[in-house]
Amino acid sequence: MATGTAPGKVILFGEHAVVYGRPAIAVPVDGVEACATVRPGEQGSGIWLECCNLPAAEKGREGCYYPIREAPPGDPLCVVVTIGLTHMGMVTPPEPDLIITISSTIPIARGLGSGAAVATAIIRALATYLDYPLSPEETSRLVFEVEKIFHGTPSGIDNTVIAYQQPVYYVRGEPVELLKVSNPFHLVIADSGVASATREVVREVRQHWEVERVRYEALFDGIAAVVRAARESILKGEWRALGPLMNENQALLEELGVSAPALERLLTAARSAGALGAKLSGAGQGGFVIALVEEENIISVSKALERAGATQVLSTCVSSYPTSGSREEEKG
**Which residues contact ligand MEV by CB under 6 A?**
11, 15-16, 18-19, 111, 154-155, 157-158, 198, 202, 282-283
116 or 298: whose CB is closer to ligand MEV?
Answer: 116
State how far the Cα of 332 lies from the Cα of 314, in Å rounded to an integer.
37
In angstroms, what CA-CA distances link 47 with 5, 92, 130, 229, 297?
Answer: 20, 11, 14, 48, 48
Identify whether 97 is a catalytic site residue: no
Work out how close the CB of 26 gets to ligand MEV at its nearest, in angstroms, rounded to a whole number.
Answer: 8
Give me the catalytic one of 30, 75, 97, 158. 158
Residue closer to ligand MEV (CB basis): 21 or 184: 21
Between 130 and 219, whose beta carbon lies closer to ligand MEV? 219
Minimal distance, residue 315 CB to ligand MEV, in Å: 20
Instruction: Single out the residue of 274, 228, 295, 282 nearest to residue 250, CA to CA.
Output: 282
Paired strand residues for 326 = 4
Nearest distance, CB of residue 281 and ligand MEV, angstroms: 8
Q: What is the DSSP letter of 279?
A: E
Longest dimension (CA), the chain: 61
User: Is the peptide bond prior to 93 cis by the omega test (within 30 degrees of 0)?
Assistant: yes
At CA 25, angle to CA 224 and CA 263, rounded to 5?
A: 85
Q: Is 49 helix (H, G, I), strand (E, B) or coil?
A: strand
Provide the minimum distance between the beta carbon of 16 and ligand MEV in the complex, in angstroms, as a whole number. Answer: 5
Closest CA to 173 of 154, 196, 191, 194: 154
- Report the nearest approach of ligand MEV to the CB of residue 29 (Å): 12
10, 29 Cβ separation under 8 angstroms = yes
Phi, psi of 318, deg, nearest 5: -90, 120
- Residue 155 CB, nearest approach to ligand MEV (Å): 3
Residue 2 or 201 with smaller CB distance to ligand MEV: 201
Q: How many CB atoms lie within 10 A of CB 69?
A: 12
Residue closest to ligand MEV, measured at CB:
155
Question: Nearer to ligand MEV by C-beta: 81 or 157?
Answer: 157
Residue type, 185: F
User: From CA 125, how far away is CA 326, in angstroms rounded?
Assistant: 7
How many Cβ atoms sit within 10 Å of the Cβ of residue 260? Answer: 18
Q: Which is nearer to ligand MEV, 2 or 11 (CB)?
A: 11
- Torsion, Cα of 13, 226, 292, 310 (10° steps): -50
Name which of 5 and 281 has its Cβ closer to ligand MEV.
Answer: 281
Pairwise CA distance, residues 325 & 9, whole Å: 14
Tell the smallest beta-carbon distance from residue 156 to ligand MEV (Å). 7
Do residues 5 and 121 lie in contact, with contact meaning Cβ atoms separated by under 8 Å? yes
Positions annotated as catalytic residues are: 158
